[in-house]
């Protein structure tokens, strides 16, 4: 379901994360070029989360599975958290407005506006915390959706992530249950057998963990309690249903 609500929302969030990472990478690369000799550890590390995010998102948008998304997102979230804390430690409580007219020396021996430097450092910090928050939310949303699908009996960790659907969307128009789309009179992989004395074919199986007996057109389902448990038979509709028995489309 490549055009599902979940797949569309995931792509949109990843595009936003990609754009923010590109902005941060540009600012960090500029400051690294100007001030590598000062705070060189910070400027080198500031290139890591953005570069990682850009490469990872390009890969995830091409093809991925829920488990791969979760692992790579968690790593990105940790990297952005570290950058946010690191930049806050480097800047401290400096107010950029108070630096008007002041300059700072660059690695190339020139001067650069202290206020502009401060604003760009603040931008790196802001982007780092924004990326951390978005990645954290995305991680928990994908985890919750994956666990919801897994609870319905699907092997979610082997699925393409674009085949996941949003909360509550299963069972709606266009949804095909596990084993293929249901058609009346066709029972997918459910085992079939002839009931004793029934003269017809019954389809039994397990649908979302519930035992099911499907009634065919023009037939009645006869359920009787026998010594070894319920006895299910299929009778012609003209034969009626004996007293003391139950006709039903399903039994549990």
d(Cα 42, Cα 120) in Å, to the nearest integer?
A: 14
Q: Exposed, middle or buried by CB within 10 Å (0-12, 13-18, 19+), for 36?
A: middle
pLDDT at 55 over 90: yes
Query: 184 near 215, Cβ under 8 Å?
Result: no
Check residue 36 and give its pLDDT.
80
Check residue 81 and give its pLDDT.
97
Query: 23 near 15, Cβ under 8 Å?
Result: no
Mean pLDDT for 7-22 is 95
Q: Which two tokens stand for residue 55?
A: 């490469």
> Among residues 155, 226, 160, which one has the least CA distance to residue 195?
226
Predicted structure pTM score: 0.65
Residue range 148-165, pLDDT digits in tens: 888 888 888 888 898 888
Residue range 124-147, pLDDT digits in tens: 999 999 999 999 999 999 999 999
CA distances from 19 to 13, 15, 57 (A): 10, 6, 11
- The H-assigned helical ranges of the chain are 5-35, 40-62, 66-91, 114-151
Q: Which two tokens stand for residue 188?
A: 């997918």
């Amino acid at each position: 379901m490549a055009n599902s609500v979940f797949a569309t929302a995931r792509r949109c969030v990843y595009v936003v994360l990609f754009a923010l990472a590109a902005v941060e990478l540009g600012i960090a690369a500029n400051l690294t070029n100007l001030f590598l000799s000062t705070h060189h550890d910070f400027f080198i590390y500031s290139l890591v989360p953005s570069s990682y995010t850009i490469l990872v998102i390009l890969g995830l948008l091409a093809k991925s599975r829920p488990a791969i998304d979760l692992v790579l997102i968690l790593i990105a979230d940790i990297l952005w958290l570290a950058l946010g804390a690191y930049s806050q430690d480097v800047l401290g409580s400096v107010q950029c407005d108070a630096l008007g007219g002041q300059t700072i020396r660059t690695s190339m021996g020139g001067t650069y506006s202290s206020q502009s430097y401060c604003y760009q450092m603040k931008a790196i910090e802001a982007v780092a915390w924004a990326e951390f928050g978005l990645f954290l939310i995305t991680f928990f949303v994908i985890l919750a959706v994956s666990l919801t699908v897994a609870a319905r009996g699907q092997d979610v960790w082997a699925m393409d992530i674009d085949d996941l659907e949003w909360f509550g969307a299963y069972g709606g128009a266009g949804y095909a249950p596990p084993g293929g789309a249901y058609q009346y009179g066709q029972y997918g992989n459910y085992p079939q057998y002839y009931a004793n004395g029934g003269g017809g074919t019954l389809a039994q199986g397990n649908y979302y963990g519930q035992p099911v007996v499907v009634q065919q057109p023009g037939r009645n389902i006869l359920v009787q309690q026998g010594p070894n448990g319920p006895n299910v038979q299929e009778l012609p509709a003209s034969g009626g249903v004996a007293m003391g028995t139950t006709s039903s489309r399903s039994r549990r």
